Amino acid sequence: MRIPFVAQIGANMRSCELVTLITAIACSISQCYPSEELPVIAAILTQLGDTLGTIIAQEEFCNEITEK
């Protein structure tokens, strides 16, 4: 499943613009949720990023094996 908005961000933004967007999102989240909930939100987003990295690494590893 490809989310067009996410694909669009990656294709149309420079690195610094992307970092600025992520920072703005983090600031907004920190202002909208109580400080007691922020560690849980951070852990969830960290796990999401780690899981996506694991999925990509596994796919690349499997592709390398099947190409040999």
What pLDDT shows up at residue 51?
Answer: 97
Structure tokens at 19: 């970092």
Nearest to 22 by CA among 39, 30, 3: 30
- The reply to whether 63 and 46 lie within a common domain is yes
- CA dihedral of 46, 5, 7, 28, whole degrees rounded to 10: -30
Q: Which residues of 19-54 are buried (b: 16+ CB within 10 A; e: fewer)?
A: eeeeeeeeeeeeeeeeeeeeeeeeeeeeeeeeeeee
Give the residue numbers spanning the domain of 65. Answer: 35-68
- The reply to whether 57 and 39 lie within a common domain is yes
- The reply to whether 45 and 23 lie within a common domain is no
- The reply to whether 25 and 49 lie within a common domain is no
* Residue range 20-52, pLDDT digits in tens: 989 999 999 999 999 999 999 999 999 999 999
Give 11 or 50, the one with higher predicted confidence. Answer: 50
- The reply to whether 68 and 40 lie within a common domain is yes
What pLDDT shows up at residue 12?
Answer: 72
pTM summary value:
0.71
